[in-house]
Amino acid sequence: MKKTLFDKIWDAHVVETINGDHQILYIDKHFIHEVTSPQAFDELERKGIPIANIASIVATADHNVPTVNQHLPIQEQLSRLQVDKLIENCKKHDIELYGLGHPYQGIVHVIGPELGITQPGMTIVCGDSHTSTHGAFGNIAFGIGTSQVTQVLATQALLLTKPKTMRITVNGQLKNNVFPKDVILYLLMHLGTNAGTGYFIEYAGSVFKEMSMEGRMTVCNMSIEMGARGGLIAPDETTFTYLQGREFAPKGEEFNMKCQQWSKLFSDQDAIFDKAYEFEASDISPMLTYGTNPGMGIKINEVIPKIKNTSDEKALNYMGLQAGQQLLNKAIDYVFIGSCTNARIEDFRIAANYIKGKTKAKNVEVWIVPGSQQVAQQIKEEQIDAVFEAANIPIRQAGCSACLGMNEDKIPAGKYCVSTSNRNFEGRQGKGARTILASPLTAAAAAIEGKIIDVSQLN
């Protein structure tokens, strides 16, 4: 039978099918962080249940950590307690923790791939919806709730119904200054925030084939914004080259053997997808969001569309924007380049390439937040830090930062922030904050110009 890539990986992990509908799915890798794990450890302890496979778990602290002065104790008491709880739980159970101060610390979806922990063909879970990121390597990776974190800790498996499959194909040549972030925002604009609910998405076509691993991660990361549990891309030479030599990737002959196995991970020709969409690369432009969900996007030179219902009206009121208005030339207050969507080395290269030789606009506060200590290190090695510093933009330390209004980095109420993160929900970046999602280049340009400019017109 013809199988999709998703079917191949899923079926290889089914322990048992129950009553036709439910399947026990074996989980290979489990990432945990401080926010969604404490209640899971508590429940296990209360019930006296041991952890099934300690070696499958990797922990980091990212959501609550400050991005300045990480050598000092965390100022905010509740954040500190939560991070301390993670340290305590990891120590108690002998779980590998890349906490503050560790050279591998960083956003969970940045460190998994860069350490070579994330590999093709695996099943990967984490108590975080952006676990979909890891699918860029051709695996089944999805976010889970804390009850499911407990289940995986206790049994290394989940009870699930198999999702349906969707293929999104984008063929052709991307236009100048159109980045993976623009591609996924474009898909969201067309398909909306719930087209993917109940599905796993496979991204196919020349655009994704030619994309770097960093770019593929940006795309897969935002699959959840379409409602899909996950998104994946067939592994290829780009994937293998990225993985080779990484800390926890297989080495030597074992690596070659693995690559041969991984090469078989693709959707069979004529495999049936439950849903399929096709788009033309040449139609994609640099993108912006204007509303309060990631599906509310426009091409950078378009106007905000008409209001269709009270939800749209509420969104535009919150954003202080009006239908028919352009976002081009709009003055902004903050720029955030970071998050599990766009905080990898390639993102900072794109930003630095524009910023080089220029100075930050006086009206804008700019936060450059590497996704991990390793990305921060590479920024130094490539002397990108000097570019930002010369532009009066200090580089902060690794963490989730202003993506989610949980740690100290919050955008003040009423302020506009051009952000490379993934969600423009009300209050996402801080109570009352107004988020405009964009690519690292559009964000970098806004940092220098103090307003949104049309990057498609740049060389």
Partner 1 sequence: MDKFQTFTSTALPLNIENIDTDQIIPARFLKATDRKDFGNNLFRDWRFEEDGSKKAFVLNQAHEANILIAGNNFGCGSSREHAAWALYDYGFRVIISSFFADIFRGNALNNGLLPLQVSEAQLSNLFKIIEENPTTQFTVDLEKETLSSNAFLEDISFEIDPYKKMCLLNGYSDLDFLLLKKEQIEQFALSRF
Nearest Cα residue to 400 out of 343, 447, 360, 320: 343
Determine, following the binding rule CB under 8 A, whether residue 15 of this chain makes contact with partner 1: yes
- Tell me how far, at minimum, the Cβ of 441 lies from partner 1, in Å: 26
38 binding partner 1? (CB under 8 A): yes
Candidate list 172, 405, 412, 450; residue touching partner 1; CB under 8 A: 405
Backbone angles phi, psi at 128, to 5 degrees: -165, 130
Nearer to partner 1, 127 or 286 (CB): 127
Identify any residues that bridge with 199 across adjacent strands, giving them in sequence order. 164
- Binding of partner 1 at residue 26 (CB under 8 A)? yes
Among the listed ranges 108-116, 183-191, 257-265, 404-412, the one in contact with partner 1 (CB under 8 A) is 404-412
Cβ-based neighbours of 149, under 8 Å, separated by 6 or more: 30, 32, 36, 37, 40, 125, 127
Of the two residues 268 and 313, which places its CB atom closer to partner 1 in the complex? 313
Cβ 311 to partner 1, closest distance in Å?
4
Instruction: State in angstroms the smallest separation of the CB of 301 from partner 1.
Output: 26
Size of the site for partner 1 (CB under 8 A): 66
Nearest one of 38, 3, 237 to 149, comparing CA atoms: 38
Work out how close the CB of 32 gets to partner 1 at its nearest, in angstroms, rounded to a whole number.
Answer: 13
CB of 98 to partner 1, least distance (A): 20
Looking at residues 289 to 328 of the shown chain, list those that interact with partner 1 (rule: CB under 8 A): 293, 309-311, 314
> Applying CB under 8 A, does 55 fall inside the site for partner 1?
no
Instruction: For the segment 178-217, give every residue that binds partner 1 (CB under 8 A).
Output: 193-194, 197-198
| Least Å from the CB of residue 81 to partner 1 | 7
Between 18 and 257, name the residue whose CB sits nearer to partner 1.
18
Q: State which of positions 131-160 bind partner 1 (CB under 8 A).
A: 143-148, 150-151, 154-159
Site for partner 1 in 83-112 (CB under 8 A): 85
Q: Is 255 in the site for partner 1 (CB under 8 A)?
A: no
Q: Which amino acid is at 321?
A: L
Based on CB atoms, which residue is closest to partner 1, 168 or 448?
168
Segment 378-382 long-range contacts (CB within 8 Å, at least 24 positions apart) = 378/345, 379/345, 379/348, 382/345, 382/349
The answer to whether residue 23 forms part of the interface with partner 1 (CB under 8 A) is no
In angstroms, what is the minimal distance from the CB of 34 to partner 1? 9
Assess 427 for contact with partner 1 (CB under 8 A). Answer: yes
Cβ 154 to partner 1 shortest distance, Å: 6
Task: List Cβ neighbours of 426 (8 Å cut-off, separation of 6 or more).
Answer: 292, 318
Comparing CB distances to partner 1, the nearer of 193 and 206 is 193
* Site for partner 1 contains 270 (CB under 8 A): no
Query: Is the CB of 12 or the CB of 386 nearer to partner 1?
Result: 12
The residue range among 125-133, 333-341, 357-365, 444-452 that interacts with partner 1, by the rule CB under 8 A, is: 125-133
Q: Is 21 in the site for partner 1 (CB under 8 A)?
A: yes
Identity at 72, one-letter amino acid code: L
* 389 class by beta-carbon count within 10 Å (0-12 exposed, 13-18 middle, 19+ buried): exposed
- C-beta of 65 vs 345, nearer to partner 1: 65
Residues that bind partner 1 (CB under 8 A): 15-16, 18-19, 21-22, 24, 26, 35-36, 38-39, 42-43, 49, 52-53, 63-64, 78-79, 81-82, 85, 127-129, 143-148, 150-151, 154-159, 161, 193-194, 197-198, 224-225, 227, 229, 293, 309-311, 314, 404-406, 413, 423, 425-428, 431-432
